[in-house]
Amino acid sequence: LLWLISLLSPQQVSAEVYTALVDMEELLETESFLIENLDNYIRIEEEKLDYLKRKNFEYQREHSEAIHDISGYLGNPINAYILTKRLTVDWTDIEQVMEFDVGKPFLENITRAHSVLKFPTDEDLNGAAVALMRLQDTYNLETASVARGELNGIQYSSEMTSSDCFELGRQSYLNGDHYHTILWMHEAMDRLTNEVNRTTTKADVLEYLAFSTFKQGNVLSALSMTNELLEIIPNHERAVGNKVFYEKQLAEEKRQQNLLGDDGSDNVPKDDVNIIRDTSNPHVYDLPERKLYEMLCRGELKPSSFYLSQLHCKYVTRDNPFLKIAPLKLEEASLQPYIVIYHDVLADSEIEVIQRLAKPRFRRATVQNHKTGELEVAHYRISKSAWLKDYDHKVIRTVGKRVEDMTGLTVETAEELQVVNYGIGGHYEPHFDFARREEKNAFKSLGTGNRIATVLFYMSDVEQGGATVFPSIRTALWPKKGTAAFWFNLHKSGEGDYLTRHAACPVLTGNKWVSNKWIHERGQEFSRPCDLQPDHPDSY
């Protein structure tokens, strides 16, 4: 492997590995190299030490013999020569061995590896930490359980160290997320007290914990933790300054409380418990939808028995000669809007081809800016995607023809097949696939109208999480390899169906692969013509 790295030409290795698990797999190759490199360094270092130990043993033996009878020893001209030789030639060699830095070539190997292998960046570390926070919030995971390697009661991995928990808290702190900072710094402190070989320090934990507790509104607890920190490090510069600030804040709060009491108004003292925010990202969409989204992701909302009794499964032929021979298996998931799931529409061999074609083309998934129409990355969509054309492979053409069989629509004006692999805690928060009236520039460059329909292929099973949820109709579709979901985004009138607003839940465990085929309006005039009467309420 070392020889291989020296031969490979340097190249720019892309970052953002956390946004797709397929890229994370390459990090294991990187770690494998680092482990082998470290093993070789340790072996060479041990060989150097073994050599020095042997020489030291020889010299000690000779020296002991000499000082036992100095006159007799030095009276032997051979011994006198050997002593002189040891103190000139031999010890000079020893000094050179001691000075030789055996680690230098191995450090150079690591430097070269950075231009060849994939290494995560600070952005990846932060993204991975944020992903864990997202999973913790969405799936109501206890901090201690996650630290034990448990996800929804299932043990997946070894436990985190105090250092691991501390770094999660530190990353939350850097993001201004003091709520999660407190959770993970408390966990770091609990684990620190039980560690034999401590991986972090109490002072470091207290520093972050105290300030985040203050930012959450609990000044008294922040002062108490700061005093505890100063007992460990009396001259801690930031702690000394923070202590003065907290004491002034408490004095001011007390003065304000006295004023309120004196004028007879209600005086409600601040609670000493931490102020906990309602959501991890409250600015993305309103709270009711957020709650529905998270409950659907957790599987807590299910359709009633009466509603389920109206849904059916059936074979579909659409008067299509081919489908009469091989009918499609259709399962209704919702009647309004009409959402169906087609089973067994992608073979494993086809999925392998699509994944193989997509991997080298993966880029961070983007969203369309509703004002400019330009594509840009967004924190609410964590995945990587690639676009595959019909001429890339016969399988892509076959999938396109299958979409026509499934939908009764033409794919002549459809977008290319988009393949997506989700990253750590990968998700896509509630959104519409169609462009709304105010989004004037959306799909303008395509010249094919709005997205009339969506076909979503599931190309992998997912152990936990990763559902596609529709908060407005309280419906969840769970990934099943080889299936495809289909729905119309537009009413026959061309107006958008706002009930199709949907989201991809964070992947809790597993690897989620999907592909999308977005079908556009142009070319569907005879396949799905407008009705004489509106097919939606006036509110649209």
Check whether 468 has a pLDDT greater than 60. yes
B/e letters for 182-218, b = 16+ CB within 10 Å, e = fewer, are bbbbbbbbebbeeeeeebbebebbbbbbbbbbbbbeb
What does the angle CA 400 – CA 351 – CA 32 come to, to the nearest 5 degrees? Answer: 145
Check whether 366 has a pLDDT greater than 80. no
CB atoms within 10 A of CB 376: 10
Contact between residue 171 and residue 123 where contact means Cβ atoms under 8 Å apart: no
- Based on the fold, state whether residues 475 and 345 are members of the same structural domain: yes
* pLDDT bracket for residue 60 (50, 70, 90): very high
Domain membership flag for residue 5: no
Contact between residue 18 and residue 424 where contact means Cβ atoms under 8 Å apart: yes
- Based on the fold, state whether residues 389 and 468 are members of the same structural domain: yes
What's the Cα-to-Cα distance from 361 to each of 175, 385, 451, 510, rounded to whole Å?
30, 8, 24, 22
Domain membership flag for residue 273: no
Pairing of strands 468-470, 475-477: antiparallel
Query: Residue 140: which CATH number?
Result: 1.25.40.10
Domain membership flag for residue 286: no
- Based on the fold, state whether residues 126 and 213 are members of the same structural domain: yes
What's the Cα-to-Cα distance from 219 to each of 58, 223, 243, 398, 512, rounded to whole Å?
66, 6, 10, 64, 44
For the stretch 370-412, pLDDT in tens is: 566 666 666 666 788 999 999 999 999 999 999 999 999 999 9
For the chain, the domain total comes to 3
**Domain around 354:** 302-520
295 token code pair: 């409950």
- Based on the fold, state whether residues 55 and 180 are members of the same structural domain: no
- Based on the fold, state whether residues 94 and 145 are members of the same structural domain: no
Q: Which of 387, 383, 500 is nearest to 451 (CA)?
A: 500
Residue carrying structure tokens 């709270």: 287
Check whether 47 has a pLDDT greater than 80. yes
Contacts of residues 161-164 at CB distance under 8 Å and 24 or more positions apart, as own/partner, are 161/191, 161/195, 161/199, 162/188, 162/189, 162/191, 162/192, 162/195, 162/198, 162/199, 162/200, 162/205, 163/188, 163/199, 163/200, 164/199
Domain membership flag for residue 540: no
Domain membership flag for residue 287: no
In the chain, the percentage of residues whose pLDDT exceeds 90 is 68
- Based on the fold, state whether residues 238 and 312 are members of the same structural domain: no
Q: How far apart are CA 194 and CA 247, in angstroms?
A: 32
pLDDT of residue 353: 97
E strands, 351-509, in order: 363-364, 367-368, 375-376, 383-388, 417-422, 428-431, 451-458, 464-465, 468-470, 475-477, 484-488, 502-504, 507-509
Cα dihedral 396, 399, 403, 405 sign: positive
- Backbone φ, ψ for residue 464 (5° rounding): -145, 140
* pLDDT bracket for residue 152 (50, 70, 90): confident
pLDDT of residue 6: 43
Of the segments 12-26, 56-70, 526-540, which one has the largest average pLDDT value?
56-70
Check whether 261 has a pLDDT greater than 60. no
- Based on the fold, state whether residues 178 and 308 are members of the same structural domain: no
Among 83-87, 225-229, 413-417, the minimum mean pLDDT is found in 83-87
Check whether 208 has a pLDDT greater than 60. yes
pLDDT of residue 375: 62
pLDDT average, residue stretch 205-230: 95
More confident residue, 382 or 58: 58
CB atoms within 10 A of CB 146: 21
* pLDDT bracket for residue 287 (50, 70, 90): low
- Based on the fold, state whether residues 390 and 506 are members of the same structural domain: yes
- Based on the fold, state whether residues 65 and 148 are members of the same structural domain: no
Check whether 103 has a pLDDT greater than 90. yes
Check whether 154 has a pLDDT greater than 60. yes
pLDDT average, residue stretch 519-536: 86
* pLDDT bracket for residue 268 (50, 70, 90): very low
pLDDT of residue 467: 97
pLDDT of residue 508: 93
- Based on the fold, state whether residues 98 and 145 are members of the same structural domain: no
Domain membership flag for residue 284: no
Query: Residue 481: which CATH number?
Result: 2.60.120.620
More confident residue, 275 or 157: 157
If you average pLDDT over every residue of the chain, what do you get?
87
Q: How far apart are CA 20 and CA 22, in angstroms?
A: 5
Check whether 284 has a pLDDT greater than 50. no
3-state secondary structure of 485: strand
- Based on the fold, state whether residues 146 and 98 are members of the same structural domain: no
- Based on the fold, state whether residues 370 and 330 are members of the same structural domain: yes
pLDDT of residue 318: 85
Q: How far apart are CA 261 and CA 62, in angstroms?
A: 89
Check whether 458 has a pLDDT greater than 80. yes
Domain membership flag for residue 150: yes
Burial class (CB in 10 A: 0-12, 13-18, 19+), 9: exposed
Q: How far apart are CA 330 and CA 339, in angstroms?
A: 10
* pLDDT bracket for residue 427 (50, 70, 90): confident
Q: What is the Cα 485 distance to its own chain's centre?
A: 25
pLDDT of residue 265: 44
pLDDT of residue 288: 86
pLDDT average, residue stretch 518-538: 84
3-state secondary structure of 460: coil
E strands, 350-482, in order: 363-364, 367-368, 375-376, 383-388, 417-422, 428-431, 451-458, 464-465, 468-470, 475-477
429 token code pair: 């928060």
Domain membership flag for residue 85: yes
* pLDDT bracket for residue 283 (50, 70, 90): very low
Among 21-35, 429-443, 524-538, the minimum mean pLDDT is found in 524-538
Q: Which of 76, 166, 467, 511 is nearest to 292 (CA)?
A: 467
Rounded to two decimals, the pTM is 0.81
Contact between residue 350 and residue 398 where contact means Cβ atoms under 8 Å apart: yes
Asked whether the bond before 269 is cis by omega within 30 degrees of 0, the reply is: no
Note the maximum CA span of the chain.
Answer: 124
Element (H, E) at 329: strand 328-335
